[in-house]
Amino acid sequence: NRQISIAIDGPAAAGKSTVAKIVAEKLSYIYIDTGAMYRALTYKAIQQQASIEDEAALMEILNSTTIDLQPGTEGQLIYLDGQDVTNQIRSSEVTNSVSIVSRHKLVREEMVLRQQSFAQNGGVVMDGRDIGTHVLPLAEVKIFLLASVDERAIRRHTENVQKGFPSDLEKLKKEISLRDRLDSEREVAPLKKAEDAVEIDTTSLSIVQVVEKIMDLAYERI
Ligand code: C5P
């Protein structure tokens, strides 16, 4: 069997990581959450009280930072300099700053190199914003996942409520729209469907249905 690469891009909270994890598990591939890498850097920058506008300061931090992704029993664990920050990087403070950090060209260049080295042997499902366009332009399967802002906010809200986190639906809608705008309008590697990506609108699809569509595309290439 060929070890292919599967790139899954799309806007915030479109369900990328949920389906990417399941697809990776079904194929016994590794799953790489590239958003978690930008989140980990953002978390460290906030901790160190660095300005997230300051590219040089961010690069100094990034160049002395290790970010590792490890499979855990309940999904992927994210280690920052050896410390488990899986939960910390999901805070609203990080979420609302990460799109400023990820705008910087040098930050992106370094992240892309790290992501490409994780994927060098194939057998990988990677999700993010620029995977099909920049990180893995030769990926055998490219997916662009979409869903309406309302649907994405409701899903995130339900998830928060289930986890017992405080959650405000209207605020979520605003935050998701803003992050989409920043990610789509930035100069370097903006969120954009790759020309050869297959678009899947998940608004009225179940997770199982989305996974099936991606698995069908994967099996055509394996
Ligand atoms: O996927 P997630 O929502 O965790 O990503 C967090 C943020 O990281 C995105 O809103 C975006 O600003 C940035 N990101 C990126 N490129 C990627 C993955 C994430 O710019 N490949």
For residues 85 and 83, what is the distance between their CA atoms, to the nearest angstrom?
6
Check if the beta carbon of residue 43 is closer than 8 Å to that of residue 89. yes
Is it the case that residue 197 has pLDDT exceeding 90?
A: yes
CB 136 within 8 A of CB 85: no
What pTM does this model have? 0.97
Q: Write the CA distances from 214 to 19, 25, 32, 209, integer angstroms.
A: 9, 13, 16, 9
98 lines ligand 1 (CB under 6 A): yes
* 9 bridge partner residues: 128, 144
Q: Which of 101, 99, 73, 105 is nearest to 86 (CA)?
A: 73
Strand partners, 8: 127, 143
Task: Report the nearest atom of ligand 1 relative to the CA of 99.
Answer: 12
Measure the CA dihedral 23/25/30/34, to 10°.
50
Q: Is the CB of 76 under 6 A from ligand 1?
A: no
CB-ligand 1 contact for 129 (6 Å cutoff): yes
User: Which class for 169: exposed (0-12), middle (13-18), buried (19 or more C-beta within 10 A)?
Assistant: middle
Its ipTM equals: 0.99
Q: Which ligand 1 atom is the nearest neighbour of the CA of 179?
A: 10
Read off the pLDDT of residues 123-160 as tens digits, 9 standing for 90 and up.
999 999 999 999 999 999 999 999 999 999 999 999 99
Q: What gap in Å lies between CA 203 and CA 135, rounded to an integer? A: 26
Beta bridge partners of 32: 126
pLDDT tens by residue, 160-174: 999 898 999 999 999
